[in-house]
Amino acid sequence: MVVDPPARHATGLPLPEPFGVTADGERVHRFLLIGRQVEMAILTYGGVVQSLVVPDARGHRANIVLGFSSLSGYQGAGSAYFGAIIGRYANRIGGATYELDGQRVSLTANDGRNHLHGGDSGFDKQVWRARTEHRSDGVALTLWRTSQDGEEGHRGTVEVEVSYVLADDDAVRIEYRAATTHDTIISLTNHALFNLAGEGRGTILGHELQVDAETYTEIDSELVPTGRIVSVEGTPLDFRRPTKIGARIGSEHAQLRVAGGYDHNFVLRTREQAVALRRAARLVDPISGRELRVSTTEPGLQVYTGNRLDGSLVGASGRRYDRFAGVALETQRYPDSPNRPDFPSAVLRRGELFRSVTELRFGSARR
């Protein structure tokens, strides 16, 4: 079978490929960024990373992120936020409310009584505008949109840009920027679920995970932080040394029981943000030899092991996604930070610029 090459502008930049039309009549496009050995496909719908193709230790290439082959999959109920930009606020805000400068702000409650991943119509469900450009170290796709004052209850009109940069050395860098007309809160992340064996190829229980964190934010029965920052020492949440994800996931530890696996924010630092990138996690599939290293300027990392996947979703490969089919490594501000003054602040003031960077590097693990 002959496969047409991806569309390219005369400058060598990728051109938009049609990927469907939303129920509101908005056209969605797909952009394919091609590096030396890494390829990344991104949708203007939700800023979704639809595929991320990397080689294994023997040079065999495979897509390593969960997702769908059509727009309907991402728009369907229970789409699981696969690969999407999450905002205005990643993760949970307890009670779907918080107080800022003496004023109570009420948000959409879309996770029981709590606010999750931006609400019913968060950034993951919006069509973004896009432009491509050459950078000194690679090629970039920048997506941007305006989040209007009152969207899902949030204050202020926020201008948001997210750049996906595929560097010449095949590193993937995600750059987030935002500015607001009114003091508000913000926490942006990407919700890719990785399976380094290949999309749809079993579970991630055999993957080895290392997280550079000595503590985590304890959660309650609604998966909202209690406010306590707890040591990982002596618990199944201790990933300071490489450990198979499945080694302790069935533990009777109360934190794992309430989440049905791992769904926890690990504390990378206690300040809001660092100027320089710092390694947060390393993920390895011992069978394929694929390795992923995550670095970030953010203070938190949410590790989510696909606990709520139940086989009802069929991915791009045509295979069903069962429980633990992928693992998310979401760089972020801590969950419920707006209600926890002792957590790093998630407040964005008028006149300030929010900046955040996360970098993904791929390689072959040495055994």
- Cα(292)–Cα(242) distance, rounded to whole angstroms? 13
The Cα 111–Cα 92 span in angstroms is 8
C-alpha dist (Å) from residue 174 to 28, 29, 31, 79, 345: 21, 19, 15, 22, 21
Confidence of residue 3 (pLDDT cuts 50, 70, 90): very low
Segments making up each domain of the chain, as ranges? 17-364
294 in Cβ contact with 328 (< 8 Å): no
The single residue listed with the structure tokens 């949030």 is: 154
Active site residues: 191, 330
What digits encode the pLDDT tens for the residues 83-123? 999 999 999 999 999 999 999 999 999 999 999 999 999 99
209-237 residue pLDDT tens: 999 999 999 999 999 999 999 999 999 99
pTM recorded for the entire structure:
0.95
Q: Give the mean pLDDT of the chain.
A: 94
158 Cβ neighbours under 8 A, 6+ residues apart = 88, 146, 147, 178, 179, 180, 181, 184, 186, 348
Share of the chain above pLDDT 70, in %: 95
The pLDDT assigned to 63 comes to: 98
Residue 263 has pLDDT above 50, yes or no: yes
Average pLDDT over residues 274-294: 94
Query: pLDDT grade, residue 365 (50/70/90)?
Result: confident
- 41-53 pLDDT, tens per residue? 999 999 999 999 9
**156 vs 276, more confident:** 156
Statement: residue 10 has pLDDT above 60: no
Cα–Cα distance measured from residue 141 to residue 160, given in angstroms and rounded to the nearest whole number: 14
Q: Calculate ∠ Cα 135-136-141, nearest 5°.
A: 15
Q: What is the CATH number of domain 17-364?
A: 2.70.98.10
DSSP state of 275: S
Q: What is the mean predicted confidence (pLDDT) over 195-204?
A: 98
pLDDT at 79 (0 to 100) = 73
